[in-house]
Structures are given as structure tokens and as C-alpha cells.
Structure 1
């Protein structure tokens, strides 16, 4: 009895430990799913009853719409912060580039001043000559050019109607700090609009670099008059663009505009011309690829012109796949193929069909053409199953008399040789029926002996078999 009691005590202790482990696991799951609600609460004591083992674990709460909205908001906020950091990095990079350009301009001016110092002054005061970095920003030059394709292509050439914007920012010494070549997609307008767009692009780039003092070099007098307020644009779109240019120009501490000769802007002109030629080449390539495709009238698929067959005689166009299937069906039905166009009776030629037919179909087509050329009363097929070559009566060969000691006059009239397999056979001609018999076949020889006389099916002429 004592042993039984000890066993029951051990079982009870095991059950209690198992229940405590399950409860602890449930508490951890609850804390993980809802940590805020579990703060400040005392742990629940494990029940000593074994009925707790049968209680199912509570299901985790399903995420609500609010939790989804918060997650989406957090993701958007993270993306916005990343964009902000990227913008700050770009501004810092542009600021460093502008500062570097200012230092380079200052050093260039100082180097020229040092080169102009006389030798005697350099010997006494060379170590004391200095030029502090001026806090005022140097004057940068903005050169721009808007160019359309019609200014480059000839009068007889195809105009793809593309446009480009070219901008060059130079420091006070003429060194190019930044250059821009930008295509304009779907541009509709004149030179004034293009020039204003190019100038806006250059001013915005200068602002991005932190440049505060600029001098605009312009070779288009009409735009110069609009910028000075001498002229007023009549078109609403152009007026809006001029207002945008003036608005951006006001953001600089110093902004000068100068009307210069066309030769002063050779660098930016070359940028624009190179860019427009590149855009024209791309447009021509795209247009050529479109022109090199044609729609098949059978399958209605756009196919490369190199895969389009032009039927000789009628010039109807079809793709290779459709032509091959059409010719294949006609040949297998025993007819000579014609043009697939409805109502067209132009026959296909073997030379023109070589490009899309397989060698097997070409052989069949050659045979069909020969069948069409030989009259029905002149057609002879080789009686040997492995050959079956088509011949005309005039093409068949007469075997030489020396080839057989039993060669008779009857053989001269009926014995022929196949032009392809060189097999010998006999023919009988009645004017309406030509029969062929392979020489040396015992069964056929016996049949010819038993039926000595045949009658033509339409002419009624008697045909007597020569004795073998």
C-alpha cells in the first residue's frame, strides 16, 4: 500500500509540474501578443487540479484595421525619412561642390597675381604675399541652348521632331563646373519656348549647387527683350514660362543677363548639337524598326519584312509560316499551289518558294509542276514502288540491243528504262491507255500469257501482249 501511495504522489507531482510549464508558456505568449496589458499584473498561480490540462490555449487576437493602418503609416514615415536623408545628402554634396568651385576660382586668380609679381618684389616679400578667401561668392556664368531637330535635319530628310536642352555652368575663369544635356519628350513649340526651358534648367541647376551670383550669357535677342521686360509675350504658355524664369532668377543674390554673339556659346552649341544628333539617330532607328514590320493578311501578325514572302506576278504579301502551311496542304492534296489571296490565280514558282519550303516539300512541288507540264496521255510512272518517278513517253530511254541476246523487234517497241532508277519495264500504247509491266516478274508474265488480248477502255483497240 505504501508503494502505491508513493507512486500516486509521484504522478501528482509530475502533473503539477506539467501544468505549471503549460501556464508559463501561455503567459509568455500573452505577453508577446499584448505586452501593454500585461504590465503591472501579478502572475496567476498554477492550479493543482488536473482539469487545467484539458483547457485549450487561447487563440492570439487577429490584427485589426487600426493595426494595419498604423503599420502602413509607419512604412510611409520610414520612406519619407529616407527621402529626407537622401535630399540632405544631395544638398550637402552640392554645397561641397560649390565650395570647391569657389576655392578653385580663388586659387586661379591668386596664381595669376603671383605670376605677375616682379622678381625683386618676390625676393623681398614673396613669403608675405597672401590673398584671403573672399566671403563674397564668385560670379558664375550660365550658358544655355535649346535646339530642335528641324534646325539640324535637311529640308528633304525626315524630321523626327525631337528637341534637347543643353546647359553649361562655368566659374569665373571659364572652367566648366556642370554640364547638362536633356532631351525634351513630345515637345511642341518654337525656339523661344525651348530657349526659356533651357535657361530655367540652368538656373535651377545653379541654385542646386548653392551658387548665389550668376551671369547669364544669351545669344537670342527676343528672349533677352522678354527678360528685360521690353517685350510682352502674347501666348499664355510662353508668358507662363517667362514668369517662371524670372521667378527663379530672383532667388539669386546677384543675377546679370548679357546679350552676346553666337560664337561666344560654341561650347554649349556643340553640346546641343551632339545631343540632338544622338536623339535623331535613336528616333530614326525606332522608325526604321517600325517600317521593317508588316502585317500578314492571313494570320494578322506583325512580322519582320525579312520573313515576308512576296508572290511573284501578283505581289501579294504573306509571312513564311502561312505560305509554308498553304503550300504544304495544296501539295499533299496533289495540286499545284497558287497565291493564297482570295480570287488570285497566280501560280507559285519553285524558285520563289525555296526560301520558306523544306527540301521534302520542294521535291513534291517539283513533281507537281512536272505533272502539270506533261499531258495526261504522255505521263508514265515508274512501276517500281521504291522509285515511282514521273516521265513522259519522249523521255524514257530505249535499252541498247547489245545488252541482251534475246532482244527482239517487239522489245524495241515496248521495252523502256526508267530515267531515275534505270529499271527496265514494258509499255503498251493504244492511244488512250498506257500500261507498264515490270520485266522478269513471274506472276505478271503468267497473267499476260493467260490474257492475250486487252481492249482500250475508250477507243476499243485490241492490245496483244508480246510473248515473253
Structure 2
């Protein structure tokens, strides 16, 4: 604490003592005044009782009407001093917290530099002198040359309360070291006069301001918004006064760094900052609901049994079962990772989840995966076509391909399956499922190249050794672990595991045995 702060505290203490004495004196005078008023009222009452009964009586003077006046300006000044004192204590707490974070950051930088120096020591030298190799913290100044990573996210969300909609905005900030270990995080609501780009700019400025406060000189800023990235790199032009003001603030903050690199990444790369912003919006929405209604609008989730604000509960459209956003997000993610299309979590319910209604609790990455699963489920297995280019792998149906690619009778006659990917627009053969084979018909290409790659040849060899069977319709490989030889493929095709012949109406069309005693006994032993 410096000299100015000490003098300020002394002055505040003196004023507080003087005000306390003034209030006490004022209270004593008021007490004496009350006694005098009581005596006067008592005397007036006795005098009025001796007057004529026909005289009209004035209403008695109430004591509270005289004595309910405030003590005076001394109390107001005292309240202002107390408010100033609270603000000063809060400011000191924030400054102390910033110093603690700065100290931890300096220790982290020191330890990382020391660790790199240890790795540079030759093995022979380390065996001889490693036990004496040390570099205590604080003996030399920390040179902060490490490049830290700055992640940020600004979100705007419309929440429904009864029949009205309310807009909330929040920012999330995460600052990490070069190993992606978080050293600072922040999630807080903000007031945004504009759309999502304004919220993103607010989050970016908040992140860089925090980096400056931590004493960082070299940073990498990771952004998932292309518009904000253009502002960050100085290539974008502001479209309104609000954005222009924020861009000016951004340019000013950037000058405080020795190095400030910018990277445009996918939203999945900033998911930590995204979660901080989401949590801040949820917290603010809950507080708003409680203050607006005067009571807590809570509902219990039937999965986690936690009491959750009703606005954060998801209702399945068809069956109206309700679960919290957190449980629904975990349920949908688990099903998608298993390759399944998620349904209502109730074990006795089979209602489908509508993807648009799930958008409110899914992250953008999960939403894209679920969209792909919905499209996969809508296309019969025998009609599915994937782009053979590894960086694309877009899912298409044969119907889409036929509509998109013009065909002629001559090309169809010679068995040419040349088509164009709907996503990457590159040519490939959907008959052979390979990049387009120029100067080869499909039959000639398959004779020359029976396998698309070395890995496919290995897979076929492994399938032959283990007696796996491929479905004739969808080419999916099946392994019989136990049970009968009747195989029901995921595409709906039924066949015999022994010879591959089709089953029709639950009956085989071949003479192969339906089951093997070894497989049935093996299954029974496993159950015991």
C-alpha cells in the first residue's frame, strides 16, 4: 500500500468518526425532542377534555408524523463513504488476484524455460552433474518470450420466458501456454448493441485486454469467425459505427504486444472458450427468470435429477418427455459416436429427435454429425455412395447422382459410371467407387485393379482367413461370433452365413445347416 492510499484511509477514518459522533448527537437531540413532544401532547389532551363537548375536536397529532424525519445529511454522507470503502476493497481484491495470476504465470514460464534447459543437457553430463543442476525461481528476472495462445468466443442467444423473448450475450476467454495448458479463463455476460459479430469483437477485445493485464508480450490469437478475422488482420472494412469503434479499440490494443499472430480455425478448436460463453448465458438467463417472476422456475431432470431452469429443459416433440440440455447433449453425443441416430432417452419410448429442435443444445460439431447421421438414415444402404477422395468423403445417394450427372445411352451401354461429387465437384466412377479412370471402362478397370488400395487387399485377405462374409447388397462385412447362420444385415438383406444365399420370408433358399452345435453351446456357456 503506497503513501496516498494510507493518507486516504486516514482521512476516511476521521470522517467516519466525525459522522458517527454527529449521528449520535443528532439521535440524542431527537430523543429529547420526542420527550418534549410527548409532554406537549399529554398537556393538550388534558386541556381539551375540560372544553365543551359540543366543540369540534381536531384530530390528535401523531408522534410518528413528527419523529419519522431522517437524521439528516450526515447519514447520507456516511452511506456514501461506506459505498466508497466497499468499492476500494473490491478494487484491491481484483488487483491482488491479478498479481497472484501474474506470479503464477511467471513461475510457469520459469519452469518451462528450466525444463527446456534440462533437455538440452547431454546425457553424460547429466549423469555426472544432474543432481546439482538447479535454477531457483526469483534469482534472475523472467524473460517472457513464450508465445501464448488466446482463444475467445462471443455469443448472442434468444431465450423465451413465457410469451416473450429476451436476448442475452456473453463472452468466453481462455489464455493458454504453448502446451495448451490454461493459465487464465473468463466467462461473463455483456450488453451487446448489435449482432453476433459485435459480440465476437467484444470477446476479442476482452481477451486481448486480459493478455495485456497479465503482462504477455507475444500471443497467437485463434478466431473461428471469418469477418472478425478480417478485422483482426486489418483486411476487413467496418460496416457501421459500432464496429468501427470496436476496430479502433482492437488496433490500439494490438500495439501493446511485441508480436500478435492471427489464425482462422474451426469452432471445435475454441470449444473451451465457447463453453465459458454458454455457461455465462445460462447463468444470466436463470437470474433473469428468477428476478422477473419473483420465484425460481425450476424443473427436475429425470436423468440427472438436478433442478434446472425450465428454459434449459428440452422437450421431445412427439412424446413430450423433458430432460435438461446437459443430459440431452451427452445422450445425443453417445449415440452419434456409436453410429446410431439418437431417439428419446426414455427406455420405453421410441420417438425420433428432430434435428432442428436439437440445435439449441448441440455444439456446431455435434449438429453437423447428427445432420450426417440423419442423411445416412434416409438413404437405403444399397443406394449410398461416398466420394472416393479422402479429404471429401461426401455422402450421396444414387438418385442425387443421377439427377446431377447427365447420362447418355451410349455411356450407359458400355458401363461407364462417370459422375461428379456434389461437394468437391471432382469426377469419379460410382460403379467402381474410385477417382475417374480415364480410357478404362468399369469392367476393364476392375480386371486390371481388383483392389482399390493395398489396405483393401489386406482386408479381403483377413476376411477370407477369418471366414467373414460380405453382404451382397451393401458389401458390409459380417462376423459370426455365436448363434445360428441366419444373418440379418443392417441394410435389411437376409442371407445364409455359410454360402451367402438369400433368406426369403424368414426361410432359407439353400440346403445349408441353420445352426452349429458348437456356436449354440458356446453362447450358452457365456450366459452362465
Given the two structures, how large is their TM-score scaled by the length of structure 1? Answer: 0.39
Structure with more relative contact order (C-alpha pairs < 8 Å, separation 6 or more): 1
The structure having more radius of gyration, on CA atoms, is 1
Given the two structures, how large is their TM-score scaled by the length of structure 2? Answer: 0.35
